[in-house]
Amino acid sequence: MTFDPCYTDALELLDRYRRREVSPVEVLEAQLRRVDEVDGELGAIIERMDGEALTQARESERRYRDGDARPLDGITVAVKEKHAIAGHRVTEGSLAWDGIEATTDHPTVERLRAAGAVFHARTATPEFSITTYTQSRKWGVTRNPWDPQFSPGGSSGGAGAALAAGMTTLATASDIGGSTRGPAAFTGTVGYKAPYGRVPGSGPTSLDYYRGDGALARTVGDALCMTNLISGQHRLDQASLPDKRIDAGRDVTGMRVAYSPDLDGYTVDSRIAANTAAMVDELVAAGCVVEPIAIGWSLDDLRTATAGHFAQMMSANVDNLVGDRTELLSDYTSEYLKLMTEVRKHLSMFDAVRAEYTLQQTLAAAMDGFDALICPTTAAVGFVAGDNLFDGVEIEGQRVSWTEGMLTIPFNVNNRCPVLAVPSGFAGSMPTGVQLVGHPYDDDTVFALGRALEERRGRLFESRVPEVGVAKSAAR
């Protein structure tokens, strides 16, 4: 296999660095050239940090030479713009908020820096990370490397696009309604929504139990490595959990896995459904016992829970930041705030919590006797880049709300459940994905299942990469 610095996974690069076969500077320079070649078309990167990154890469090179390398030394990480880097401005992609200049690193950034990571780019999000696609008045439209007519999803869309296009080795992400897992499915990458508290955040939004920060990668092993490095208690987040090293080594033979093709009511594209069924077959071939189930929950309860929660939490935060500068907002943000203002008149936080409790208890009962659940990550194959989706999205001849184009948000309501999103195949030009859902805080099981699927299916980017930009990746 030809060595490609733009697509080699982090674990292999670490081994090559230790054996002095290639240097972090060489890999960084190759990826910076890749950014030059493709990002004009994709719009994934909102800030380049070439100079800082070269300094960091040279320091990593020295540590390998001196024999004191750190766990992630020399590995490039593209940082989602909302994750603060000291000395850099956080704006959340908004013209309506002046933002802040960070004086300290976000806990995820702090831990990756301590591990020797090289920060070379910051990635695009939708305004205030509130949509399942990535575009804003501030940064324009971000496009999918697999098919630029589509979005890479949101809100970690820039991160997913950067990974799929070979512009970085790892990327940071966050997830409050599917913002890690949606881009993972749409870009063929691996995304992890850790159980609430596993990965520390920064306040006050870290206290919103729907959300969490995490890893985007091209392989299960890389996602696991990064997750272990950023997990554990942190002084800035009193909701963060004690350290736990996640282990993907559990034998999946005999595991009982529940299978839901539609989470009791989502309309799912038939190609996604077929790819999900193929992943079920792979689990069976790996020795798992897989059984279809009906979960028993109501999408009306889900709508009550999420509308009430977002109205009282996320939209209230955006209102506070924006104030009277609403004329500068992107169109979808304006519509979102108007809708949530009305919702607040009719739904209290207790209404949301009551519906959340019902959904959580129903899922727990449905998963009783099973080790995990498998289901699609998205219902739609993709969202057209630049479309605000006010009219929803068409799936299998039906027009549904854009919020129902992904099957992710139920597991933000059930946010103590770990969810690993892995590729499941392709639907035409676009990748598709599945979610592996575990019982509360059982990270080990979902990573073991993800590892087993990857071993059977192979790593997507070893056999196929997007053809984007003036330079195509070497044949693999």
Helix (H) or strand (E) holding 430: strand 430-438
Those residues with Cβ within 8 angstroms of residue 64's Cβ, 6 or more apart along the chain or in another chain:
17, 18, 20, 23, 24, 73, 74
Return the pLDDT at 286: 98
For residue 393, with 0-12 CB atoms within 10 Å meaning exposed, 13-18 middle and 19 or more buried, which class applies?
buried
80 closest CA partner among 91, 67, 70: 91
Alpha carbon distance 291, 273 (integer Å): 16
| Residues with catalytic roles | 80, 155, 179
Alpha carbon distance 388, 409 (integer Å): 19
Count of all residues that appear for the chain in the document: 476
Measured over the CA atoms of residue 390, residue 394, residue 398 and residue 402, the dihedral's sign is negative
Return the pLDDT at 470: 46
| Helices and strands of the chain, counted as H and E runs | 15, 17
Alpha carbon distance 455, 38 (integer Å): 30
CB atoms within 10 A of CB 462: 15
- In this prediction the pTM is 0.97
Alpha carbon distance 130, 157 (integer Å): 12
CB atoms within 10 A of CB 62: 13
Tokens of 333: 């943000």
- Which amino acid, residue 56? Q
Alpha carbon distance 306, 462 (integer Å): 38
Q: For residue 155, say if its preceding peptide bond is cis, omega within 30 degrees of 0.
A: yes
| Beta strand pairing call for 170-175 and 190-193 | unpaired
Alpha carbon distance 476, 467 (integer Å): 13
For 287-429, list the strands marked E by DSSP.
289-292, 372-376, 393-395, 398-400, 419-427
Cβ(176)–Cβ(208) under 8 Å?
yes
Strand partners, 438: 372
Domain boundaries, the chain: 10-297+354-463, 299-353
Alpha carbon distance 154, 133 (integer Å): 4
Return the pLDDT at 1: 59
pLDDT in tens, the chain (476 residues): 589 999 999 999 999 999 999 999 999 999 999 999 999 999 999 999 999 999 999 999 999 999 999 999 999 999 999 999 999 999 999 999 999 999 999 999 999 999 999 999 999 999 999 999 999 999 999 999 999 999 999 999 999 999 999 999 999 999 999 999 999 999 999 999 999 999 999 989 899 999 999 999 999 999 999 999 999 999 999 999 999 999 999 999 999 999 999 999 999 999 999 999 999 999 999 999 999 999 999 889 999 999 999 999 999 999 999 999 999 999 999 999 999 999 999 999 999 999 999 999 999 999 999 999 999 999 999 999 999 999 999 999 999 999 999 999 999 999 999 999 999 999 999 999 999 999 999 999 999 999 999 999 999 999 999 998 744 444 33
87 closest CA partner among 67, 103, 108: 103
CATH classification for the domain delimited by 10-297+354-463, as one of 3.40.50.300, 3.90.1300.10, 3.90.76.10, 3.90.800.10: 3.90.1300.10
Alpha carbon distance 434, 417 (integer Å): 15
- Phi-psi sector, 386: left (phi>0), alpha (psi -120 to 50), beta: left
For 237-371, list the strands marked E by DSSP.
256-259, 289-292
Cβ(131)–Cβ(176) under 8 Å?
no
Cβ(456)–Cβ(425) under 8 Å?
no
Phi–psi pair at 121, nearest 5 degrees = -155, 155
HSE-CB of 395 using CA atoms within 13 angstroms: 26
Helix H, strand E, coil C: the string for 182-223 is HHHHHHCCEEEECCCCCCCCCCCHHHCCCCEEEEEECCHHHH
Return the pLDDT at 203: 86
